[in-house]
Amino acid sequence: MALFGGARDISMFRGLNRELMGDIIVQECAVYKFKLEETNVNIYGEAAEEKYYEAPVLFNVLIDRQDQNYPDSDIGINFEWGISFKFLRDDLVDAEVVPQIGDIVWYENGYYEVDNIIANQQFVGKDPDYPNKDDRGINPLGNYDLQNFGYEVSIIAETIYVPADKVGISQERLITSIKDVRKR
């Protein structure tokens, strides 16, 4: 039986984290999950015509912003911005949202595509989902209640900036031709 990382410890950490993120720091972002059944792809694995998303879910997060970058690419001066969104895993569980690669995060009227997920922050180094019991429910080393110890604290989504018209959530490209600009 483990000594630390039990339910009381976890509850205290959960309360502290929620108070910090929800009442003191208060940084927010929304997560858009794809509707996989409704979003059709062509043979290239692209949903070029229409993308469908579940309704966005707003979370309190910790945000780690990199510096904006304007690289000189083959097609001209471009824009890049990488942001890491650190979610409290318990919030995600309550909202039944599993951030995955490719999901869209909305933050300050910009859209960010998740290109890396880090779920590696475990309190006392244990994940209660893996109590290592056999078919009879017995842990051979005698640790019979490992499912009550340990805590997956956070999920970190590393994202890259994507233009809003590619995401297709908001109407970003209001003018479709240079001729429209000249008429004005």
Partner 1 sequence: MSERGRIVVPKTQKQISKGMHTPYSKEVGNPNNAAYQITNRSNQVSFKGDSVKPFTVGLEDIDSTILYYFNNVIKPSVVQNGIRIEVPVVYADSERWNQIQKDGYFRDRKGRIMMPLITFKRTNIEKNRSITNKLDANFPNNYRIFEKSYSPKNIYDKFNILNNRRPTKDMYAVVVPDYITLNYDCIISTYYVEQMNNIIEAINYASDSYWGNPERFQFRARIDSVATNVELNKGQDRVVKSTFSIKMYGYIVPNILQKDLASIKKYHSKVKLVFNPEVVSDIGTAVPTIPDRTDIRHGDFTEFTDPPAPVYPSSRINTNRVAPTPPTNQ
Residues lying near partner 1 in the complex (CB under 8 A) are found at: 34, 36, 39, 41-47, 100-103, 113-115
Least separation, in Å, of the C-beta of 127 and partner 1? 13
Contact status, residue 33 vs residue 55, Cβ threshold 8 Å: no
Tell me the CB-side half-sphere exposure of residue 136, using CA atoms within 13 A.
Answer: 4
Tell me the CB-side half-sphere exposure of residue 182, using CA atoms within 13 A.
Answer: 3
Return the number of the residue (94 or 115) whose C-beta is nearest partner 1: 115
Least separation, in Å, of the C-beta of 24 and partner 1? 33
Return the number of the residue (114 or 153) whose C-beta is nearest partner 1: 114
Return the number of the residue (60 or 112) whose C-beta is nearest partner 1: 112
- Measured between alpha carbons, how far is residue 4 from residues 1, 10, 126, 138, 140 in Å? 9, 10, 11, 21, 20
Least separation, in Å, of the C-beta of 130 and partner 1? 12
Please give the distance of CA 152 from its chain centroid, rounded to a whole number: 15
Least separation, in Å, of the C-beta of 142 and partner 1? 28
Least separation, in Å, of the C-beta of 110 and partner 1? 17
Return the number of the residue (14 or 89) whose C-beta is nearest partner 1: 89
**Cα gap 4→149, rounded to integer Å:** 7
Contact status, residue 17 vs residue 87, Cβ threshold 8 Å: no
Return the number of the residue (108 or 115) whose C-beta is nearest partner 1: 115
